[in-house]
Each structure stands twice: as C-alpha cells, then as structure tokens.
Amino acid sequence: MSRRAVKKELLIALEQSGLKDLFRFLDNHPPHLLLNSLFIALCNPLEQVRWHAVCGFGRIVPVMADKDPESARIVMRRFLWSLNDESGGIGWGSPEAMAEIMFHSALLRREYLHMLVSYMHEDGVELYQDGNYLEHPLLQRGLLWGIGRLCQGHTSEMVDRHLVDDIVAYLSSSDHQVVGLAIWCLGILGGSAAAGKIASFLDHHVEIQLFLDYTSQTVTVAQLAEGGLARIRAAEMGGDGCAQSHRPIARSRIRDD
C-alpha cells in the first residue's frame, strides 16, 4: 500500500473507528508510514481525531523503543522541538503524546520525563536554567493531562519528583480546564498540603472535558475537587487512595467501541 493510501485510511480510522480497530490498523503498518500523519492529526479540529492520535503514538512509539531506541528518540525530540519557541510552531498535542508514550515505555520515561516536568518550571538563575515554562493555557492543559496520565500508572515515580507545589500554582489559573486538570493531578498524587485549596472549588460547577480511561468525559471542577479530596483523605487514613478509580462521574463522548 502506498504512503498516500495509508495516510487516507489512517485518517478514516482516527475519525471513525474505535481504539481497538485503530490499534489493529496501526499494528499492521510500519511506523514510518504512520508517524507524519499522526503528527498532523494532533492539530485536527475534531476532538476524537486528536485524542486517537495521542493514543496512536502511545501504541507505536513504545514498540519502536523496544526494537530501535534511537528511532523512538527521534520522535520524542520532534515533540520537544515543536514546543521550542525557535521551531516556529506551537506544539499542539505534544505534551499529551509524549506522556502517553512514556506511560507505556519505561526507557523513554527514564530519558524524557524530566523534560515534560520542565515545562512547569520557570528558568532559575544562570546556573539553574532548566525550566521551559509553557505560558499558553491550551498547552498547559496538555501538560497537566500528561502529568496526570503518568501519575495514574506510575504514581510512586511521580510522587518522588515532588510535583505538588508546581501543580498547585495552576489552581490560580483563569482557565477552568487548567484548574480542573490540576485538581485531578493533585488528587492522584495525594497532595494533602493542597487539600484546603482544592476544597475551595467544591462549589465550582463549571463543566470541563477530561479524556480519561480512553474516553472523553464531561465533568465539573466541583466533581474533580470532591474526588480528589476523597482520595487524599483515604491516603491519610492509611488506605490506598491511588488504587481507587480515577474516573469521575461524568458524561462520556468518545468511547472505545
């Protein structure tokens, strides 16, 4: 099958197929025929196409990392470049795709997690200029989703990075989606120091979108705050709050058919 034909079929799969069928399609084609189309799909106006592209990267790049680590590193560096001011691009979808890849690849998580975290940090003084702070709220949404996604599957690793203070700073954002995602992350991390600030959002009934468990859900900030506080309380009482479901009560829009 030609590259053009694969590109056409991939777009159809991203838009119309459930994830099982999409993954089957990806598994049956070599990565070099898929990657450029997946990068393009991250900017697609359709929500399902964008999220399915994120999931697609999480499907194929970890396999590349197992077989040919350098080829996977090239993909990760392309994401980093897209988020660099000098690239001339914006990097839509890059934090989410990086996180989904690292969720499934221990090798790439070891090598690139510090870079994802750096997008929450401002530059320090000259000897400590390791920050790459993302100022655009839409990119902050992607970053916080990525942090939360990794917290879901690799909680102890993320706790060891002492991210709570960094995430708390996003609670002052004027973007409701950023605030909700920050609360979601803090709940998974068990950020007890932030419980008081999270509680202040219990009457914040603005609806946001959260892509969780491969499904796009409509949830209120108040629901996320309630769920986060419940997990924090469970952890403080000696229960495994992180073992609880991270799924809020919500209305689903994209499903894995």
pTM for the predicted model, two decimal places: 0.90
DSSP 190: T
Low-confidence ranges of the chain (pLDDT < 50): 126-129, 240-245, 249, 255
Q: Which residues contact 84 (CB under 8 A, 6 or more apart)?
A: none
Q: What is the pLDDT of residue 88?
A: 61
CA–CA distance, 186 with 168 (Å, rounded to integer):
8
31-57 pLDDT tens trace: 999 999 999 999 999 999 999 999 999
Reduce the DSSP state of residue 80 to 3 states and report it. helix
Q: What is the pLDDT of residue 126?
A: 46
Can you give the residue ranges of every domain in the chain? 1-134, 155-257
CA–CA distance, 31 with 28 (Å, rounded to integer):
9
125-172 pLDDT tens trace: 544 446 789 999 999 999 999 999 999 999 999 999 999 999 999 999
CA–CA distance, 52 with 215 (Å, rounded to integer):
10
Looking up tokens 């030609």, which residue turns up? Answer: 2
Q: What is the pLDDT of residue 12?
A: 96
Q: What is the pLDDT of residue 3?
A: 82
Q: What is the pLDDT of residue 128?
A: 46
Q: Which residues contact 211 (CB under 8 A, 6 or more apart)?
A: 51, 54, 145, 217, 254
Reduce the DSSP state of residue 238 to 3 states and report it. coil
Q: What is the pLDDT of residue 257?
A: 52
Q: What is the pLDDT of residue 256?
A: 55
Q: What is the pLDDT of residue 249?
A: 45
Give the burial class of 20: count Cβ atoms within 10 A of its Cβ; 0-12 exposed, 13-18 middle, 19 or more buried.
exposed
Q: What is the pLDDT of residue 89?
A: 67
Please, how many CA atoms are within 13 Å of residue 220, restricted to the half-sphere of its CB? 9
